[in-house]
């Protein structure tokens, strides 16, 4: 058909700008999916975190999510991506390296196939740059989910130091072990949607962080509706009538 011939002509020619292995549909969908994940973080979780705390902490909480997203990008392209998807260094870690060079980014993406034994490679029909962006969005949202456990608890300076360290020393371990051809991958563990790499890691880290950092002050509790206080009823001579609750005072 005419449409089929047009499609064949579109992919027949190969050039440095449009290599013969590139599938525009695959590449476009991968970038679209990455954008959808990014929208959950920016502005999704930024707005959410700024709205569930008291007004005076709204900017600080939103900035924690914003900083996590920005710092994740820098760490990811400088060392993080290749620690999670690069050459094997340890059974649970890849070799750190920069994912910014043109030769690296315009080459064909490589992923570990879902099989046991050795680590066969699957080469999807899109460039490495697309894979770097797609996986960055998941790394960033993992950190932002973790931030929800320490809103109003952690000092912003401590959070700024914690964020890049956790991404390098914790997230990349899970990502390489499962998605990059590490030991869990060889055991046959499959994580199709990030239940282990993203949600389990952020959940455990958030629980641990909330346990070790200081407890929230009562005035900083999010979604604080009010408290009930017992006051003497009128005509009781300043005494509480039988210990019953005679008046409720709401404090916001």
Q: What pLDDT, in 10s, does the model give residues 232-249?
A: 445 545 444 444 444 444
Give the per-residue pLDDT at 187.
87
**Residue spans per domain, the chain:** 2-220, 223-252
The model scores a pTM over 0.85: no
Q: What is the DSSP letter of 57?
A: G
Residues 193-197, mean pLDDT to the nearest whole number: 86
Share of the chain above pLDDT 70, in %: 74
Sequential DSSP letters for 172-236: HHHHHHHTSS-HHHHTT---SSSIIIIIIHHHHHHHHHHHHSPPPPGGG-TT--------PPTTS
DSSP string, 35-51: HHHHHIIIIIIHHHHHH
Quick one: pLDDT band at residue 193, thresholds 50, 70, 90? Answer: confident
The CATH fold of domain 2-220: Ammonium transporter fold (1.10.3430)
Percentage of the residues of the chain whose pLDDT score is greater than 90: 33
Q: What CA–CA distance (Å, rounded) separates 149 from 151?
A: 6
**pLDDT range class, residue 66, cuts 50, 70, 90:** very high
In angstroms, how far is the first alpha carbon of the chain from the final one? 69
Per-residue pLDDT band for 2 (boundaries 50, 70, 90) equals: low
For residue range 123-166, list pLDDT tens digits in order. Answer: 788 899 999 999 999 999 999 999 988 888 888 899 999 999 99
Upstream peptide bond of 211 is cis (omega within 30 degrees of 0): no
Single out the residue of 163, 70, 84 nearest to residue 131, CA to CA: 84
DSSP β-ladder status, 121-122 and 93-94: unpaired
**Predicted local confidence at residue 30, as pLDDT:** 92
């Amino acid at each position: 058909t005419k449409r089929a011939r047009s499609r064949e002509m579109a992919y027949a020619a190969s050039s440095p700008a449009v290599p013969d292995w590139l599938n525009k549909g695959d590449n476009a969908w991968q970038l679209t999916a990455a954008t959808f994940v990014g929208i959950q973080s920016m502005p999704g979780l930024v707005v959410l975190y700024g709205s569930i705390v008291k007004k005076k902490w709204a900017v600080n909480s939103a900035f924690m999510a914003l900083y996590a997203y920005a710092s994740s990008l820098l760490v990811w392209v400088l060392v993080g991506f290749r620690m999670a998807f690069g050459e094997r260094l340890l059974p649970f870690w890849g070799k750190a390296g920069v994912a910014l060079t043109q030769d690296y980014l315009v080459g064909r993406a490589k992923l570990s196939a879902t099989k046991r034994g050795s680590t066969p490679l699957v080469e999807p029909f899109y460039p490495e740059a697309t894979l770097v962006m797609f996986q960055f969005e998941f790394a960033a949202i993992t950190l932002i989910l973790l931030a929800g456990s320490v809103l109003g608890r952690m000092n912003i300076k401590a959070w700024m130091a914690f964020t890049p360290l956790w991404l390098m020393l914790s997230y990349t371990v899970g990502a390489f072990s499962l998605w990059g051809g590490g030991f869990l991958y060889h055991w046959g563990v499959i994580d199709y949607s990030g239940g282990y790499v993203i949600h389990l890691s952020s959940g455990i880290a958030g629980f641990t962080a909330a346990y070790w950092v200081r407890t929230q002050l009562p005035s900083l509790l999010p979604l604080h509706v009010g408290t009930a206080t017992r006051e003497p009823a009128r005509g009781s001579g300043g005494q509480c009538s039988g210990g019953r609750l005679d008046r409720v005072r709401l404090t916001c």
